[in-house]
Amino acid sequence: MTLGTLFDAITWTESRWDQQRPVPIRLHRAHSTDGELGAPAFTHAFAASLDASPHSITSAARTVSCYHPLSVKNPRDCPECYGIGLKETRTDHYRYPMTLALARLSNMLRPRRQMHPFRLVMSLAEHGWVWQDAARSLGLYPDMAEALFLRALRQLHSRYQEGPVTVSWLHKSESQQHAEMLAS
């Protein structure tokens, strides 16, 4: 999908904005002093959100058609589908793809003499996706604001990925890479 206009980019972003990690409502458990130094203990939802990563993955079963690459002459000899023509595969997807895209966007370097794209996207969301209001709050002229918002949303779009997940060596620590090499 190409984001040709700011309207298209805002529509795309707004439709996927709810694919973020939910924010817990309560931070502490009531009437407890089990936390650090006698403070109220964190709720399970808040503790999970502190420990969570935007790279969290979920796995799901999916039924796909089998092309019988192992047994062209007799499809019943296929060990994957046994001649039915359908097989079940597991695919990994990012649990919160918009949270991951925003995290990737926030980690990019700021362009010279311009606002950071993450700040532009968050300002748009804060103003209900009305780019004129967001531009006014940031002190930007309308023509410049339209171009900057479109560029920021395109950068967000380029970092958005639902799946399937391909784990890169760059996302793994050196010790994890070494352990996987020894295991194989």
CA distance 43 to 34: 11
* Parallel/antiparallel/unpaired status of strands 57-65 and 86-94: antiparallel
Every domain of the chain and the residues it spans = 1-21+95-184, 59-94
pLDDT at 181: 67
Tell me: pLDDT of 114 over 90. no
Highest mean pLDDT among 25-34, 113-122, 171-180: 113-122
- Given a contact cutoff of 8 angstroms between Cβ atoms, the answer to whether 58 and 29 are in contact is no
84 token code pair: 């039915």
Of 47-56, 73-82, 115-124, the one with minimum mean pLDDT is: 73-82
pTM beyond cutoff 0.85? no
77-113 pLDDT per residue, tens:
677 777 677 778 778 888 888 888 888 898 888 878 8
CA distance 154 to 148: 10
Identity of residue 180: E
CA distance 128 to 86: 45
Other CB atoms within a 10 A radius of the CB of residue 139 amount to: 8
Residue 164, preceding peptide bond in cis (omega within 30° of 0): yes
Average pLDDT over residues 131-139: 94
Band of residue 169 on the pLDDT scale cut at 50, 70, 90: low
Tell me: pLDDT of 184 over 70. no
